[in-house]
Amino acid sequence: MPAQLLERLLLALVLIVSIGWFWREVQLRLALFLRAKPDKRFSLRPYGPRLVRFVRQVCLQEKVIRERPLVGLAHAVVFWGFLLFLLVSLDHIASGFGVAFLDRTGGFGWLYVHLVAVFAIGVSIGILALLARRFLLRPRALGEVSLESGVIGLFIFLLMVTYLAGLYYPEASGPIAHALWWLHTLVLAAFLPLIPRSKHFHLLLGPIGVFWKAQTLAHIPTLDYEREEYGLEQAKDVSRKNVLDAFACVECGRCQENCPAFLTGKLLNPKHIVLDLRKHLLTRAQDEAIVGTSIPEEAVFQCTTCAACEYQCPVGIEHLPLIIGLRRGEVNTGKYQEEYASKLFANLETRRNPFGLEATVREAFLKKAHLPLFDATQEWCLWLGCVGSYDPHGQEIILALTEILRAAGKSFGVLAKEVCTGDPARRLGNDYLFLQLAEQNMEILKQARVRKLLSICPHCVKTISQDWPAAAGWPQTFGAEAKFEIVHHSRLLAELAPQILAQRHQRSFSANNSPTYTFHDPCYLARYLGETNTARALLRLTGGQLREPQRARARTFCCGAGGGWVFLGEEKGKRINRERAEELVDTRAEVIATACPFCPIMLRDALGVAGESAPQVLDLAEILAASLGLRPLQPRPGELAAGDAAQLEARLLAFFQQHPGEDFHALHLAKLIGFQGKLPLLVAILSKLHREGKLHRRRDTTVHSYFYRPPH
């Protein structure tokens, strides 16, 4: 048999083994994918946004480079090189059978192989840099050093070197060229089956994941109770996108290094959630529970749903449908039993608000603040939300906003009744309760004939605009007349501020005495709703100077309130609100501006430790109303006359000592002790007494309720 034929037979055998092994590995994973629940999202629509995202994030590697410029660039060069190499690799194999199609001596072929040569140099440098980072610098985000990564890195380097050397020693030039050709072929053949077995499967799955990623963050699929869907309890419950995500993870650790839970020493690591699911799918039976077997329940419930993980992930992995899906499985089957969560669910079920307060508290606020009821003749229906209805500081934000609306000549009204949007129930996995609340609200809004809804809370905006339609089939189920738009107040304030100035023939606010601000971007505003510029523009308009914290805009760091955590028990590790508050204090700004009523609850709570020197935490509406001279800022406790503060403290302590062990909410306390002043002052004094150890509060009572424990 001639040597050439023998060689071709050998090449065919190598290819059969390599491709066969590759296909076997792919088939195993493909079977898991096909066995999983079909996902409605696997449709090409909407074409435009999907295509744009694909071009930006896959073809141009925009996210990879933006978030980690140097490493990202090295990775992008390797990726572009990989794409260009597809054609030369095919040509390489074809040349083994004597049917090479790229003419290396001239024309397109010559141009192409030399372009690839330039990339081969770039890829060699890039891969060496990535290997040095992985094995010498060893950043924590990459986790354990793996031999597999080293082998694959070495393979890529060898492929590049043999390719470049092959250009120097053309095929006809003798045994060196021949040896190089075979070395290149064997590395290629060994590399192929390793792809599906390793994190390098992302080369194939990453682009698919990015294309089919939902258009919004935390896109939670709807449960079909008739089909007995209760969440992701076992492997048989996971969706095809969950499976795709599990195998697409490149283990880069971007999610981990941006996760507030992980960074404050909790068990949760979003990267491990994805990888543990992968392991579960590969090694466990279809009917084995995921939580408790492969993923700890504690980790699943530590998530604040801040979406930093989803935002950062370069391969389109959606952590939140997975985490919330696992929570649903635990909550809906009654396995999750946590004191504070049970109390929260009970409050939502019975009182329709997370604080468990009577609706009369809200009614009293409407009456006292003279808020007009919405009757469909006004332009805006002002959605108070639970914090705006029941929390003293939330009420202050609402009052500041209404002053601005009045000054701008905007008509508005509030609903006589509204219930919680269901946000904390949905994020904690209690979908049945979420649906009940959503439907009750939708009926209220439909009856009220609302067209434009205004909210101070980005959680409400996200839940109403994205979760209600997806989960309750709204507006289809409620008719086209139930359709309305919802706007976050920061957007309207940015429109109204220049308008009010124009009415007053002013160009800007006086810069005199304007404090320095730092803006804490709420996760639900910056990441979920993509709004990061409006607040800054507004603060600049007030004449204030802006100091950016280390993590800002869409890379903001959570305050710790989301995912129901504002109502849950004590966190493990360092508290997330403390971590964020420290970062904001480091800016040395006098005021921390926010645009979500949950953030001040968390930040004020954390800043309590800094005492009266701490910066003020104010909403944009309060800042603007004060700048316009419409409503003075609430004085801080230190600004109370010393005698008055001492008197109030003494009154409060005497009251608590008469009711040992009983919990009191600030709103109730005001009534019980006959306090006539501003509620935030009362809350500040309570907080001071708590700091001094004279009063106690449970973790869920950051929302202003305290108790006294007599000394033994």
The residue from 96, 260, 385, 413 that contacts ligand SF4 (CB under 6 A) is 260
Least Å from the CB of residue 143 to ligand SF4? 9
Q: Are 444 and 484 within 8 A, CB to CB?
A: no
Considering only CA atoms, give the Rg of the chain.
30
- Distance separating alpha carbons of residues 393 and 682, to the nearest angstrom: 11
DSSP 241-298: HHHHHHHH-----TTGGG-HHHHTT-S--HHHHHHHHHHHHHHS-TTSBSBTTTB-HH
Contact flags string 320-339 toward ligand SF4, x per CB under 6 A: x-------------------
Closest CA to 211 of 63, 55, 403: 55
Sequence-ordered list of residues with C-beta below 8 angstroms from that of 352, at least 6 positions apart, any chain: 359, 419, 420, 437, 440
Question: Which one-letter DSSP state was computed for residue 546?
Answer: E
Nearer to ligand SF4, 247 or 519 (CB): 247
Nearer to ligand SF4, 130 or 313 (CB): 313
Least Å from the CB of residue 570 to ligand SF4? 17
Nearer to ligand SF4, 309 or 384 (CB): 309
Stretch that binds ligand SF4, among 251-259, 439-447, 468-476, 534-542 (CB under 6 A): 251-259
Which residue type sits at 579? Answer: E
Least Å from the CB of residue 310 to ligand SF4? 7
Question: Exposed (0-12), middle (13-18) or buried (19+): which is 107, by Cβ within 10 Å?
Answer: exposed
- Distance separating alpha carbons of residues 599 and 525, to the nearest angstrom: 11
Closest CA to 388 of 343, 411, 421: 421
Decide if residue 270 touches ligand SF4 (CB under 6 A).
Answer: yes
Least Å from the CB of residue 523 to ligand SF4? 8
Least Å from the CB of residue 245 to ligand SF4? 7
- Distance separating alpha carbons of residues 387 and 524, to the nearest angstrom: 15
Nearer to ligand SF4, 312 or 587 (CB): 312
CA 501 from centre of chain:
36
Nearer to ligand SF4, 305 or 702 (CB): 305
Least Å from the CB of residue 518 to ligand SF4? 21
Decide if residue 274 touches ligand SF4 (CB under 6 A).
Answer: yes
Least Å from the CB of residue 428 to ligand SF4? 12
The residue from 184, 271, 426, 527 that contacts ligand SF4 (CB under 6 A) is 271
Decide if residue 410 touches ligand SF4 (CB under 6 A).
Answer: no
- Per rule CB under 6 A, count of chain residues that contact ligand SF4: 28
Nearer to ligand SF4, 195 or 384 (CB): 195
- Distance separating alpha carbons of residues 123 and 77, to the nearest angstrom: 6
Residue 134 sits at φ, ψ, to 5 deg, of -65, -40
- Distance separating alpha carbons of residues 574 and 580, to the nearest angstrom: 11
Least Å from the CB of residue 576 to ligand SF4? 8
- Distance separating alpha carbons of residues 417 and 366, to the nearest angstrom: 10
Decide if residue 243 touches ligand SF4 (CB under 6 A).
Answer: no
Contact flags string 76-115 toward ligand SF4, x per CB under 6 A: ----------------------------------------
Decide if residue 250 touches ligand SF4 (CB under 6 A).
Answer: yes
Nearer to ligand SF4, 274 or 628 (CB): 274
Decide if residue 130 touches ligand SF4 (CB under 6 A).
Answer: no
Question: Exposed (0-12), middle (13-18) or buried (19+): which is 143, by Cβ within 10 Å?
Answer: middle
The residue from 213, 254, 328, 551 that contacts ligand SF4 (CB under 6 A) is 254
Least Å from the CB of residue 650 to ligand SF4? 42
Contact flags string 292-321 toward ligand SF4, x per CB under 6 A: -----------xxxxxxx--xx-x-x-xx-
- Distance separating alpha carbons of residues 701 and 706, to the nearest angstrom: 7
- Interacting residue ranges for ligand SF4, rule: CB under 6 A: 249-255, 258-261, 268, 270-271, 274, 303-309, 312-313, 315, 317, 319-320
